[in-house]
């Protein structure tokens, strides 16, 4: 599996203990090889680093593999994650919401 940097966002958090949160988004690319084809599948990874005063850091990460067969869909999904500043904890909810929206689109198109 290959991991490609997609985007990075730094957010100033002013709640509780003021700190900075750095969110890094990656596209995951994997190949499924069979006798007569080489299929690419795409996923997403979000890494979160909370940086507190005094140099203390907390890290969190979440991965979802093999979610898309088209690069363009994976790219659109990652752009939405970045725009909404989705954290690792929110990744599964974002996937559920995206799939629900896609089902609605396909239902109304077809």
pLDDT, tens only, 43-67: 999 999 998 877 778 999 999 999 9
Range of lowest pLDDT (14-23, 41-50, 94-103)? 14-23
Which residues have a Cβ under 8 Å from the Cβ of 40 and sit 6 or more positions away? 29, 30, 31, 32, 69, 71
Whole-structure pTM value:
0.87
Q: What are phi and psi of 47, to 5 degrees?
A: -110, 135
């Amino acid at each position: 599996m290959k991991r490609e940097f997609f985007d990075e966002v730094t957010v100033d958090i002013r709640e509780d203990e003021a700190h900075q949160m750095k969110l890094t988004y990656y596209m995951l690319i994997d190949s499924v090889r069979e006798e007569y084809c080489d299929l690419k599948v795409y996923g997403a990874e979000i890494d979160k680093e909370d940086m507190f005063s005094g140099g203390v850091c907390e890290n969190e990460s979440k991965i979802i593999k093999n979610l898309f067969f088209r690069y363009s869909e994976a790219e659109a999904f990652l752009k939405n994650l970045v725009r909404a500043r989705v954290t690792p904890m929110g990744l599964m909810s974002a996937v559920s919401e995206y799939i629900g929206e896609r089902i609605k689109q396909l239902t109304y198109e077809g």
